[in-house]
Structure 1
Amino acid sequence: MIKVNRGFKRNEIDGVVFYTIPAFENTGKVRHLFSTRIAGISGGPYSSLNLSLTRYDDKGNVHENFRRICHAANINYDDMVFSNQVHSDGIRMVTSSDKGKNFGLSDIKNADALMTNESGIPIVTFYADCTPLYFLDPVKNVIALAHAGWRGTVKEIGPKTVEAMVNTFGSDKKDILAAIGPAIGVCCYEVGKDVVDEVSKLDIDLDKVLIDNGNEKWMLNLEMTNYLELIKCGLKDDNITVSGLCTSCCSDEFYSYRRDKGKTGSMAAFMELI
Protein backbone atom coordinates (compact mmCIF):
# COMPACT_ATOMS: atom_id res chain seq x y z
CA MET A 1 0.00 0.00 0.00
CA ILE A 2 1.06 3.57 -0.62
CA LYS A 3 1.66 5.47 2.58
CA VAL A 4 -0.46 8.59 2.06
CA ASN A 5 1.54 11.27 3.86
CA ARG A 6 -0.93 14.08 4.33
CA GLY A 7 -2.77 14.16 1.03
CA PHE A 8 -3.51 17.27 -0.99
CA LYS A 9 -5.60 20.12 0.42
CA ARG A 10 -8.66 21.47 -1.40
CA ASN A 11 -8.82 25.27 -1.57
CA GLU A 12 -11.41 27.74 -2.89
CA ILE A 13 -10.70 31.42 -3.54
CA ASP A 14 -13.22 33.62 -5.38
CA GLY A 15 -14.96 30.44 -6.51
CA VAL A 16 -11.79 29.02 -8.07
CA VAL A 17 -11.05 25.54 -6.69
CA PHE A 18 -7.52 24.16 -6.62
CA TYR A 19 -5.38 21.75 -4.64
CA THR A 20 -2.16 22.38 -2.72
CA ILE A 21 0.35 20.24 -0.85
CA PRO A 22 0.56 20.87 2.90
CA ALA A 23 4.15 19.60 3.15
CA PHE A 24 5.17 22.17 0.53
CA GLU A 25 3.12 24.96 2.09
CA ASN A 26 4.75 24.34 5.46
CA THR A 27 8.19 25.21 4.07
CA GLY A 28 7.13 28.76 3.14
CA LYS A 29 9.32 28.40 0.05
CA VAL A 30 6.85 28.05 -2.81
CA ARG A 31 3.58 29.01 -4.41
CA HIS A 32 2.05 25.98 -6.03
CA LEU A 33 -1.21 24.32 -7.01
CA PHE A 34 -3.03 21.76 -9.10
CA SER A 35 -6.03 23.26 -10.88
CA THR A 36 -9.53 21.84 -11.28
CA ARG A 37 -12.20 22.48 -13.89
CA ILE A 38 -14.22 24.70 -11.55
CA ALA A 39 -14.95 28.44 -12.00
CA GLY A 40 -13.79 29.15 -15.52
CA ILE A 41 -15.67 30.51 -18.53
CA SER A 42 -15.18 27.74 -21.12
CA GLY A 43 -18.24 25.82 -22.32
CA GLY A 44 -19.20 22.44 -23.74
CA PRO A 45 -16.71 19.61 -23.14
CA TYR A 46 -14.20 22.22 -21.90
CA SER A 47 -16.44 23.46 -19.10
CA SER A 48 -15.25 25.41 -17.30
CA LEU A 49 -11.64 26.19 -16.22
CA ASN A 50 -9.90 24.67 -19.24
CA LEU A 51 -6.21 25.57 -19.39
CA SER A 52 -5.31 23.88 -22.68
CA LEU A 53 -4.61 25.86 -25.84
CA THR A 54 -4.17 22.68 -27.89
CA ARG A 55 -7.87 21.73 -27.81
CA TYR A 56 -10.62 23.46 -29.80
CA ASP A 57 -11.63 25.81 -27.01
CA ASP A 58 -11.75 29.56 -27.65
CA LYS A 59 -8.31 31.01 -26.90
CA GLY A 60 -9.83 34.05 -25.22
CA ASN A 61 -11.62 31.78 -22.80
CA VAL A 62 -8.40 29.94 -21.98
CA HIS A 63 -6.51 33.16 -21.34
CA GLU A 64 -9.26 34.34 -18.98
CA ASN A 65 -9.19 30.98 -17.21
CA PHE A 66 -5.46 31.43 -16.64
CA ARG A 67 -6.01 34.93 -15.30
CA ARG A 68 -8.49 33.54 -12.79
CA ILE A 69 -6.28 30.72 -11.50
CA CYS A 70 -3.22 32.99 -11.38
CA HIS A 71 -5.15 35.62 -9.41
CA ALA A 72 -6.41 33.02 -6.94
CA ALA A 73 -2.90 31.65 -6.37
CA ASN A 74 -1.04 35.00 -6.48
CA ILE A 75 1.00 33.92 -9.51
CA ASN A 76 2.17 36.41 -12.15
CA TYR A 77 0.26 35.63 -15.35
CA ASP A 78 2.88 37.26 -17.58
CA ASP A 79 5.85 35.30 -16.21
CA MET A 80 4.59 31.72 -16.64
CA VAL A 81 6.85 29.23 -18.44
CA PHE A 82 5.40 26.36 -20.53
CA SER A 83 6.95 23.61 -22.64
CA ASN A 84 5.52 21.46 -25.43
CA GLN A 85 5.03 18.15 -23.60
CA VAL A 86 5.70 15.09 -25.75
CA HIS A 87 5.51 12.17 -23.28
CA SER A 88 9.29 11.99 -23.10
CA ASP A 89 11.91 12.09 -20.35
CA GLY A 90 13.29 15.48 -21.41
CA ILE A 91 14.16 17.85 -18.56
CA ARG A 92 14.77 21.57 -19.02
CA MET A 93 16.39 23.98 -16.58
CA VAL A 94 14.52 27.28 -16.55
CA THR A 95 16.06 30.67 -15.76
CA SER A 96 14.78 34.24 -15.53
CA SER A 97 15.50 34.65 -19.24
CA ASP A 98 12.67 32.17 -19.89
CA LYS A 99 9.99 34.23 -18.14
CA GLY A 100 6.97 34.74 -20.37
CA LYS A 101 7.60 31.71 -22.58
CA ASN A 102 3.99 30.63 -22.78
CA PHE A 103 0.87 30.63 -24.97
CA GLY A 104 2.69 29.48 -28.08
CA LEU A 105 5.68 31.77 -27.52
CA SER A 106 7.88 29.15 -25.85
CA ASP A 107 11.00 27.76 -27.50
CA ILE A 108 11.24 25.08 -24.80
CA LYS A 109 10.73 21.92 -26.83
CA ASN A 110 10.59 18.21 -26.06
CA ALA A 111 10.62 18.73 -22.30
CA ASP A 112 8.15 17.04 -19.97
CA ALA A 113 9.93 18.30 -16.86
CA LEU A 114 10.90 21.86 -15.88
CA MET A 115 13.17 22.82 -12.99
CA THR A 116 14.70 25.99 -11.58
CA ASN A 117 16.54 27.40 -8.58
CA GLU A 118 15.50 30.99 -9.28
CA SER A 119 12.62 32.71 -7.51
CA GLY A 120 9.74 34.39 -9.27
CA ILE A 121 9.52 31.96 -12.21
CA PRO A 122 6.18 30.11 -12.35
CA ILE A 123 6.73 26.79 -14.11
CA VAL A 124 3.60 25.12 -15.51
CA THR A 125 2.83 21.61 -16.80
CA PHE A 126 -0.47 20.25 -18.18
CA TYR A 127 -2.62 17.20 -17.44
CA ALA A 128 -5.84 15.37 -18.31
CA ASP A 129 -5.11 11.93 -16.71
CA CYS A 130 -1.30 11.79 -16.73
CA THR A 131 0.54 11.96 -13.41
CA PRO A 132 1.79 15.31 -12.06
CA LEU A 133 5.04 15.01 -10.10
CA TYR A 134 6.12 17.90 -7.85
CA PHE A 135 9.61 18.25 -6.36
CA LEU A 136 10.95 20.74 -3.82
CA ASP A 137 14.36 20.93 -2.20
CA PRO A 138 13.84 23.47 0.60
CA VAL A 139 17.55 23.42 1.51
CA LYS A 140 19.05 24.24 -1.88
CA ASN A 141 15.89 26.09 -3.00
CA VAL A 142 15.18 24.04 -6.11
CA ILE A 143 11.81 23.12 -7.63
CA ALA A 144 10.73 20.89 -10.49
CA LEU A 145 7.56 19.66 -12.15
CA ALA A 146 7.37 16.49 -14.25
CA HIS A 147 4.57 15.25 -16.51
CA ALA A 148 4.39 11.45 -16.27
CA GLY A 149 1.97 9.61 -18.51
CA TRP A 150 2.62 5.91 -18.93
CA ARG A 151 5.39 6.62 -21.43
CA GLY A 152 7.11 9.13 -19.15
CA THR A 153 6.65 6.78 -16.23
CA VAL A 154 8.32 3.83 -17.94
CA LYS A 155 11.11 6.21 -19.00
CA GLU A 156 11.44 7.05 -15.27
CA ILE A 157 11.04 10.78 -15.67
CA GLY A 158 10.50 11.12 -11.91
CA PRO A 159 13.83 9.59 -10.84
CA LYS A 160 15.60 11.34 -13.72
CA THR A 161 14.25 14.70 -12.49
CA VAL A 162 15.54 13.90 -8.99
CA GLU A 163 18.97 13.05 -10.41
CA ALA A 164 18.95 16.30 -12.40
CA MET A 165 18.32 18.24 -9.18
CA VAL A 166 21.21 16.41 -7.52
CA ASN A 167 23.63 16.78 -10.42
CA THR A 168 22.74 20.37 -11.39
CA PHE A 169 22.10 22.01 -8.04
CA GLY A 170 23.72 19.70 -5.50
CA SER A 171 20.44 18.62 -3.91
CA ASP A 172 20.57 15.87 -1.29
CA LYS A 173 17.89 13.24 -1.88
CA LYS A 174 17.04 13.09 1.82
CA ASP A 175 16.00 16.76 1.64
CA ILE A 176 13.79 16.51 -1.45
CA LEU A 177 10.03 16.66 -0.92
CA ALA A 178 7.90 15.06 -3.62
CA ALA A 179 4.20 14.90 -4.37
CA ILE A 180 2.14 12.79 -6.76
CA GLY A 181 -0.90 14.72 -7.93
CA PRO A 182 -4.35 13.78 -9.24
CA ALA A 183 -4.19 11.33 -12.14
CA ILE A 184 -6.24 8.50 -13.60
CA GLY A 185 -6.48 5.79 -10.96
CA VAL A 186 -6.05 2.04 -11.09
CA CYS A 187 -9.85 1.92 -10.83
CA CYS A 188 -10.21 3.41 -14.31
CA TYR A 189 -7.00 2.82 -16.26
CA GLU A 190 -7.17 -0.34 -18.35
CA VAL A 191 -4.21 -0.99 -20.66
CA GLY A 192 -3.12 -3.60 -23.17
CA LYS A 193 -0.12 -5.86 -23.56
CA ASP A 194 1.93 -3.17 -25.33
CA VAL A 195 1.88 -0.96 -22.24
CA VAL A 196 2.34 -3.87 -19.82
CA ASP A 197 5.39 -5.06 -21.74
CA GLU A 198 7.02 -1.66 -21.19
CA VAL A 199 5.99 -1.41 -17.54
CA SER A 200 7.37 -4.91 -16.96
CA LYS A 201 10.87 -3.67 -17.79
CA LEU A 202 10.88 -1.55 -14.62
CA ASP A 203 12.72 -2.87 -11.58
CA ILE A 204 9.75 -2.62 -9.23
CA ASP A 205 7.22 -5.04 -7.70
CA LEU A 206 4.81 -5.47 -10.62
CA ASP A 207 2.21 -7.13 -8.40
CA LYS A 208 1.72 -3.74 -6.77
CA VAL A 209 1.01 -1.90 -10.02
CA LEU A 210 -0.78 -4.32 -12.35
CA ILE A 211 -4.09 -6.18 -11.98
CA ASP A 212 -4.75 -8.86 -14.64
CA ASN A 213 -8.27 -8.56 -16.05
CA GLY A 214 -7.83 -11.43 -18.49
CA ASN A 215 -8.06 -11.22 -22.29
CA GLU A 216 -4.68 -9.44 -22.32
CA LYS A 217 -6.05 -6.43 -20.43
CA TRP A 218 -4.67 -5.07 -17.17
CA MET A 219 -5.47 -2.26 -14.74
CA LEU A 220 -2.38 -0.08 -14.30
CA ASN A 221 -1.67 1.93 -11.15
CA LEU A 222 0.37 4.89 -12.39
CA GLU A 223 0.34 6.54 -8.95
CA MET A 224 1.90 3.49 -7.31
CA THR A 225 4.35 3.01 -10.17
CA ASN A 226 5.69 6.54 -9.76
CA TYR A 227 5.74 6.17 -5.98
CA LEU A 228 7.82 2.98 -6.17
CA GLU A 229 10.18 4.62 -8.64
CA LEU A 230 10.76 7.57 -6.32
CA ILE A 231 11.39 5.30 -3.34
CA LYS A 232 13.79 3.17 -5.39
CA CYS A 233 15.74 6.27 -6.48
CA GLY A 234 16.36 7.25 -2.88
CA LEU A 235 13.59 9.60 -1.72
CA LYS A 236 12.31 9.16 1.82
CA ASP A 237 8.84 7.68 2.23
CA ASP A 238 7.92 10.39 4.75
CA ASN A 239 8.81 13.05 2.17
CA ILE A 240 6.33 11.84 -0.47
CA THR A 241 2.75 13.13 -0.51
CA VAL A 242 0.16 11.24 -2.57
CA SER A 243 -3.12 12.85 -3.60
CA GLY A 244 -5.11 9.64 -4.04
CA LEU A 245 -7.47 11.52 -6.40
CA CYS A 246 -8.63 9.87 -9.65
CA THR A 247 -9.20 12.31 -12.50
CA SER A 248 -11.53 9.88 -14.27
CA CYS A 249 -13.76 9.23 -11.25
CA CYS A 250 -14.02 12.87 -10.16
CA SER A 251 -15.85 14.24 -13.20
CA ASP A 252 -17.14 17.28 -11.32
CA GLU A 253 -13.60 18.47 -10.52
CA PHE A 254 -11.25 17.11 -13.20
CA TYR A 255 -10.94 16.65 -16.94
CA SER A 256 -10.13 13.12 -18.11
CA TYR A 257 -8.90 12.27 -21.59
CA ARG A 258 -9.80 8.62 -21.13
CA ARG A 259 -13.25 9.18 -19.61
CA ASP A 260 -14.22 11.90 -22.10
CA LYS A 261 -12.78 10.08 -25.13
CA GLY A 262 -10.41 12.93 -25.97
CA LYS A 263 -13.04 15.70 -26.03
CA THR A 264 -11.99 17.46 -22.87
CA GLY A 265 -9.91 20.25 -21.37
CA SER A 266 -6.75 20.24 -19.26
CA MET A 267 -5.72 21.00 -15.71
CA ALA A 268 -2.29 22.35 -14.86
CA ALA A 269 0.34 22.12 -12.15
CA PHE A 270 1.98 25.40 -11.13
CA MET A 271 5.01 25.97 -8.93
CA GLU A 272 7.16 29.01 -8.17
CA LEU A 273 9.93 29.69 -5.67
CA ILE A 274 9.07 32.68 -3.50
Structure 2
Amino acid sequence: MTTNTYVNTDKFIAGMTMKDEAELEHNNMALHACENPNHIVENRKKLATFLQCELSDFVCANQTHSDHFHRVTLENKGQGARQMDTAIADTDALYTYEPNLVLCSFTADCVPVIFYNETQNLIGVIHSGWQGTVKEVTLKLFEHLIQVEQCKPSDFHVQIGAALSQEKFEVDEDVYVKFKSLGYAEDFMYHNKDTDKYHIDNQLTVRRQCELAGISAEQIMIDQTCTFINQNGFSYRENKKSGRHLAFITRKSD
Protein backbone atom coordinates (compact mmCIF):
# COMPACT_ATOMS: atom_id res chain seq x y z
CA MET A 1 0.00 0.00 0.00
CA THR A 2 1.54 3.30 -1.15
CA THR A 3 1.30 6.14 1.37
CA ASN A 4 2.89 9.56 1.68
CA THR A 5 3.61 9.78 5.40
CA TYR A 6 3.90 13.39 6.52
CA VAL A 7 4.13 13.00 10.29
CA ASN A 8 5.15 9.95 12.31
CA THR A 9 6.04 10.67 15.92
CA ASP A 10 5.34 9.06 19.27
CA LYS A 11 2.12 11.09 19.40
CA PHE A 12 0.84 11.74 15.87
CA ILE A 13 0.75 9.95 12.55
CA ALA A 14 -0.53 11.71 9.45
CA GLY A 15 -0.35 11.10 5.74
CA MET A 16 -2.16 10.42 2.52
CA THR A 17 -2.77 7.16 0.70
CA MET A 18 -1.67 7.16 -2.94
CA LYS A 19 -2.65 5.25 -6.06
CA ASP A 20 -1.14 1.77 -6.13
CA GLU A 21 -1.76 -0.58 -9.06
CA ALA A 22 -0.98 -3.60 -6.90
CA GLU A 23 -4.01 -2.95 -4.69
CA LEU A 24 -7.76 -3.39 -5.25
CA GLU A 25 -9.08 -0.63 -7.51
CA HIS A 26 -5.54 0.81 -7.39
CA ASN A 27 -5.89 1.60 -3.68
CA ASN A 28 -9.04 3.67 -4.09
CA MET A 29 -10.34 4.68 -0.63
CA ALA A 30 -13.74 6.18 -1.50
CA LEU A 31 -17.08 4.43 -1.12
CA HIS A 32 -18.78 7.19 -3.14
CA ALA A 33 -16.58 6.58 -6.21
CA CYS A 34 -15.86 2.89 -6.53
CA GLU A 35 -16.66 -0.27 -8.47
CA ASN A 36 -17.15 -2.48 -5.43
CA PRO A 37 -17.62 -1.19 -1.85
CA ASN A 38 -16.05 -4.37 -0.48
CA HIS A 39 -12.78 -3.46 -2.22
CA ILE A 40 -12.77 -0.09 -0.48
CA VAL A 41 -13.38 -1.64 2.91
CA GLU A 42 -10.45 -4.02 2.31
CA ASN A 43 -8.17 -1.12 1.32
CA ARG A 44 -9.21 0.81 4.41
CA LYS A 45 -8.54 -2.24 6.58
CA LYS A 46 -4.98 -2.32 5.22
CA LEU A 47 -4.59 1.34 6.16
CA ALA A 48 -5.93 0.56 9.65
CA THR A 49 -3.31 -2.18 9.99
CA PHE A 50 -0.61 0.27 8.90
CA LEU A 51 -1.87 2.70 11.57
CA GLN A 52 -2.08 -0.09 14.17
CA CYS A 53 -5.76 0.50 14.79
CA GLU A 54 -9.17 -0.82 13.74
CA LEU A 55 -11.33 0.31 10.84
CA SER A 56 -13.97 1.15 13.47
CA ASP A 57 -11.64 3.94 14.67
CA PHE A 58 -12.07 5.81 11.36
CA VAL A 59 -14.36 8.84 11.13
CA CYS A 60 -15.48 9.98 7.66
CA ALA A 61 -17.71 12.77 6.38
CA ASN A 62 -20.03 13.02 3.41
CA GLN A 63 -18.13 15.82 1.65
CA THR A 64 -20.20 18.36 -0.29
CA HIS A 65 -17.67 21.13 -1.14
CA SER A 66 -19.13 23.14 1.76
CA ASP A 67 -17.59 25.36 4.43
CA HIS A 68 -19.08 23.20 7.20
CA PHE A 69 -16.91 21.68 9.91
CA HIS A 70 -17.64 19.26 12.75
CA ARG A 71 -16.08 18.64 16.14
CA VAL A 72 -15.69 14.88 16.34
CA THR A 73 -16.42 13.10 19.65
CA LEU A 74 -16.28 9.45 20.62
CA GLU A 75 -19.94 9.19 19.59
CA ASN A 76 -18.79 9.67 15.96
CA LYS A 77 -16.36 6.74 16.11
CA GLY A 78 -16.75 4.53 13.05
CA GLN A 79 -19.07 6.85 11.15
CA GLY A 80 -18.63 6.36 7.40
CA ALA A 81 -15.89 3.77 7.92
CA ARG A 82 -17.73 0.86 6.30
CA GLN A 83 -20.72 2.47 4.60
CA MET A 84 -21.54 5.88 3.22
CA ASP A 85 -24.92 6.36 4.88
CA THR A 86 -23.37 6.54 8.35
CA ALA A 87 -20.85 9.27 7.44
CA ILE A 88 -21.14 12.70 9.07
CA ALA A 89 -23.50 14.58 6.75
CA ASP A 90 -22.68 17.64 4.64
CA THR A 91 -19.26 18.32 6.16
CA ASP A 92 -15.84 19.06 4.68
CA ALA A 93 -13.66 19.49 7.77
CA LEU A 94 -13.28 17.47 10.95
CA TYR A 95 -11.38 18.12 14.17
CA THR A 96 -11.14 16.32 17.49
CA TYR A 97 -9.48 16.28 20.89
CA GLU A 98 -10.03 12.53 21.21
CA PRO A 99 -7.08 10.14 20.93
CA ASN A 100 -7.12 6.96 18.82
CA LEU A 101 -9.61 8.22 16.25
CA VAL A 102 -8.54 8.43 12.59
CA LEU A 103 -9.94 11.54 10.89
CA CYS A 104 -10.36 11.02 7.14
CA SER A 105 -10.66 13.27 4.10
CA PHE A 106 -11.05 12.14 0.48
CA THR A 107 -9.55 13.89 -2.54
CA ALA A 108 -8.68 13.46 -6.23
CA ASP A 109 -7.20 16.88 -7.18
CA CYS A 110 -8.79 18.85 -4.32
CA VAL A 111 -6.50 20.14 -1.57
CA PRO A 112 -6.33 18.06 1.62
CA VAL A 113 -5.27 19.96 4.74
CA ILE A 114 -4.04 17.96 7.73
CA PHE A 115 -3.13 19.65 11.01
CA TYR A 116 -2.29 19.05 14.64
CA ASN A 117 -1.82 21.13 17.78
CA GLU A 118 0.33 19.35 20.33
CA THR A 119 -0.38 21.86 23.09
CA GLN A 120 -4.14 21.29 22.88
CA ASN A 121 -3.98 17.62 21.76
CA LEU A 122 -6.04 18.65 18.75
CA ILE A 123 -6.02 17.15 15.24
CA GLY A 124 -8.00 17.84 12.09
CA VAL A 125 -8.50 17.36 8.36
CA ILE A 126 -10.00 19.66 5.73
CA HIS A 127 -11.21 18.98 2.18
CA SER A 128 -10.75 22.12 0.08
CA GLY A 129 -11.57 21.82 -3.59
CA TRP A 130 -11.81 25.10 -5.46
CA GLN A 131 -15.35 25.59 -4.20
CA GLY A 132 -14.28 25.02 -0.60
CA THR A 133 -11.37 27.41 -1.08
CA VAL A 134 -13.65 30.12 -2.44
CA LYS A 135 -15.94 29.52 0.57
CA GLU A 136 -12.83 29.79 2.79
CA VAL A 137 -13.43 26.55 4.67
CA THR A 138 -9.81 26.43 5.91
CA LEU A 139 -9.78 30.04 7.12
CA LYS A 140 -13.17 29.64 8.81
CA LEU A 141 -12.15 26.48 10.66
CA PHE A 142 -8.88 27.97 11.94
CA GLU A 143 -10.67 31.16 13.00
CA HIS A 144 -13.15 28.97 14.92
CA LEU A 145 -10.34 27.02 16.58
CA ILE A 146 -8.55 30.20 17.57
CA GLN A 147 -11.57 32.24 18.68
CA VAL A 148 -13.92 29.58 20.07
CA GLU A 149 -11.60 26.74 21.04
CA GLN A 150 -8.98 29.19 22.36
CA CYS A 151 -6.08 27.75 20.35
CA LYS A 152 -2.96 29.77 19.64
CA PRO A 153 -2.00 30.10 15.95
CA SER A 154 1.63 29.44 16.90
CA ASP A 155 0.73 25.93 18.14
CA PHE A 156 -0.56 24.62 14.81
CA HIS A 157 1.40 22.45 12.43
CA VAL A 158 -0.21 22.23 9.00
CA GLN A 159 0.42 19.83 6.12
CA ILE A 160 -1.12 20.58 2.73
CA GLY A 161 -1.29 17.30 0.83
CA ALA A 162 -0.85 16.33 -2.80
CA ALA A 163 -3.31 18.07 -5.15
CA LEU A 164 -3.80 19.35 -8.69
CA SER A 165 -0.89 21.62 -9.70
CA GLN A 166 -1.33 25.14 -11.02
CA GLU A 167 -0.15 23.94 -14.44
CA LYS A 168 -3.02 21.45 -14.64
CA PHE A 169 -5.68 23.47 -12.81
CA GLU A 170 -7.03 25.53 -15.69
CA VAL A 171 -10.40 27.28 -15.41
CA ASP A 172 -12.63 29.72 -17.23
CA GLU A 173 -13.17 33.32 -16.21
CA ASP A 174 -16.12 32.53 -13.90
CA VAL A 175 -13.91 30.57 -11.49
CA TYR A 176 -11.08 33.10 -11.84
CA VAL A 177 -13.45 35.89 -10.79
CA LYS A 178 -14.46 33.96 -7.67
CA PHE A 179 -10.83 33.54 -6.63
CA LYS A 180 -10.04 37.16 -7.47
CA SER A 181 -12.93 38.31 -5.27
CA LEU A 182 -11.18 36.76 -2.25
CA GLY A 183 -8.79 39.70 -2.40
CA TYR A 184 -5.62 37.70 -1.72
CA ALA A 185 -5.38 35.06 -4.47
CA GLU A 186 -4.10 37.27 -7.31
CA ASP A 187 -0.49 36.13 -6.79
CA PHE A 188 -1.53 32.53 -7.28
CA MET A 189 -3.17 32.87 -10.69
CA TYR A 190 -2.09 33.57 -14.27
CA HIS A 191 -3.81 33.86 -17.64
CA ASN A 192 -2.77 31.78 -20.65
CA LYS A 193 -3.49 33.93 -23.70
CA ASP A 194 -3.13 31.00 -26.12
CA THR A 195 -5.94 29.01 -24.48
CA ASP A 196 -7.77 31.94 -22.82
CA LYS A 197 -7.73 29.88 -19.63
CA TYR A 198 -6.74 30.89 -16.12
CA HIS A 199 -4.42 28.74 -14.02
CA ILE A 200 -4.87 28.72 -10.26
CA ASP A 201 -2.62 27.40 -7.49
CA ASN A 202 -5.18 26.10 -5.02
CA GLN A 203 -2.52 24.86 -2.58
CA LEU A 204 -0.92 28.31 -2.24
CA THR A 205 -4.34 29.95 -1.90
CA VAL A 206 -5.13 27.57 0.96
CA ARG A 207 -1.73 28.29 2.52
CA ARG A 208 -2.55 32.00 2.42
CA GLN A 209 -5.82 31.24 4.24
CA CYS A 210 -3.83 29.52 6.99
CA GLU A 211 -1.57 32.57 7.17
CA LEU A 212 -4.56 34.93 7.35
CA ALA A 213 -5.70 32.96 10.41
CA GLY A 214 -2.33 33.76 11.99
CA ILE A 215 -0.37 30.59 11.24
CA SER A 216 3.15 31.42 10.09
CA ALA A 217 4.55 30.06 6.82
CA GLU A 218 7.22 28.11 8.74
CA GLN A 219 4.47 25.98 10.29
CA ILE A 220 2.95 25.02 6.91
CA MET A 221 4.34 22.25 4.71
CA ILE A 222 3.20 21.54 1.14
CA ASP A 223 3.41 18.25 -0.75
CA GLN A 224 4.05 19.41 -4.33
CA THR A 225 3.04 16.08 -5.89
CA CYS A 226 0.57 16.83 -8.69
CA THR A 227 -2.30 14.34 -8.64
CA PHE A 228 -2.73 14.71 -12.43
CA ILE A 229 0.92 14.41 -13.50
CA ASN A 230 2.20 11.91 -10.94
CA GLN A 231 1.55 8.23 -11.67
CA ASN A 232 0.60 7.72 -8.01
CA GLY A 233 -2.13 10.35 -8.16
CA PHE A 234 -5.88 10.00 -8.53
CA SER A 235 -7.14 12.84 -10.73
CA TYR A 236 -10.83 13.55 -11.27
CA ARG A 237 -9.85 16.09 -13.93
CA GLU A 238 -7.99 13.39 -15.85
CA ASN A 239 -10.62 10.70 -15.31
CA LYS A 240 -14.14 11.35 -14.04
CA LYS A 241 -14.27 7.75 -12.74
CA SER A 242 -11.12 8.27 -10.70
CA GLY A 243 -10.63 6.77 -7.26
CA ARG A 244 -9.79 8.88 -4.24
CA HIS A 245 -6.88 9.41 -1.90
CA LEU A 246 -7.48 9.32 1.84
CA ALA A 247 -5.77 12.01 3.93
CA PHE A 248 -5.58 10.90 7.55
CA ILE A 249 -4.39 11.87 10.98
CA THR A 250 -4.60 10.22 14.37
CA ARG A 251 -3.28 11.02 17.84
CA LYS A 252 -2.07 8.15 19.93
CA SER A 253 -3.19 8.03 23.56
CA ASP A 254 -0.58 8.81 26.20
TM-score, normalised to structure 2's length?
A: 0.93
- AA aligned to 2:116 is L
SS in 2 for 1:211: strand
Contact 1:17 1:39 in 2 (8 A): no
The aligned counterpart of 1:146 is 126
Q: State which of 20, 25, 40 in structure 1 corresponds to 2:8.
A: 25
Aligned-pair distance for 1:201?
A: 1.0
- AA aligned to 1:211 is Y
List alignment gaps of at least 5 residues for structure 2. none
Q: State which of 110, 113, 123 in structure 2 corresponds to 1:130.
A: 110
Contact 2:34 2:40 in 1 (8 A): no
The separation in 2 between residues aligned to 1:205 and 1:60, in whole angstroms, is: 41
- AA aligned to 1:190 is E
The aligned counterpart of 1:75 is 53
User: C-alpha deviations, 1:119-170, integer Å up to 9, x for none?
Assistant: 1111111001000011111101111100000010111111112122223432
Q: Does 1:259 align with 2:241?
A: no
Contact 1:41 1:64 in 2 (8 A): no
Aligned-pair distance for 1:236?
A: 1.1
Aligned-pair distance for 1:33?
A: 1.6
SS in 2 for 1:119: coil
Q: Which residues of 2 match residues 164-175 of structure 1 at below 5 A?
A: 164-175=144-155
Q: Which residues of 2 match residues 123-272 of structure 1 at below 5 A?
A: 123-206=103-186, 208-214=187-193, 216-250=196-230, 252-260=231-239, 262-272=240-250
Aligned-pair distance for 1:115?
A: 0.5
Aligned-pair distance for 1:73?
A: 2.5
Contact 1:53 1:59 in 2 (8 A): yes
The aligned counterpart of 1:7 is none
The separation in 1 between residues aligned to 2:107 and 2:86, in whole angstroms, is: 18
Aligned-pair distance for 1:105?
A: 4.1
> Which shows bigger deviation, 54-63 or 172-181?
54-63
- AA aligned to 1:212 is H
> Which shows bigger deviation, 103-112 or 262-271?
103-112
The aligned counterpart of 1:48 is 26
User: C-alpha deviations, 1:54-98, integer Å up to 9, x for none?
Assistant: 124111111111111221222321121111100010000100011
SS in 1 for 2:26: coil
Contact 1:131 1:181 in 2 (8 A): yes
TM-score, normalised to structure 1's length?
A: 0.86
Contact 1:255 1:265 in 2 (8 A): yes
List alignment gaps of at least 5 residues for structure 1. 1-15
The separation in 1 between residues aligned to 2:23 and 2:8, in whole angstroms, is: 28
Identity %: 26
Q: State which of 112, 121, 143 in structure 1 corresponds to 2:92.
A: 112
Aligned-pair distance for 1:205?
A: 4.8
Q: Does 1:90 align with 2:75?
A: no
**Residue correspondences, number:** 249
The separation in 2 between residues aligned to 1:40 and 1:93, in whole angstroms, is: 35
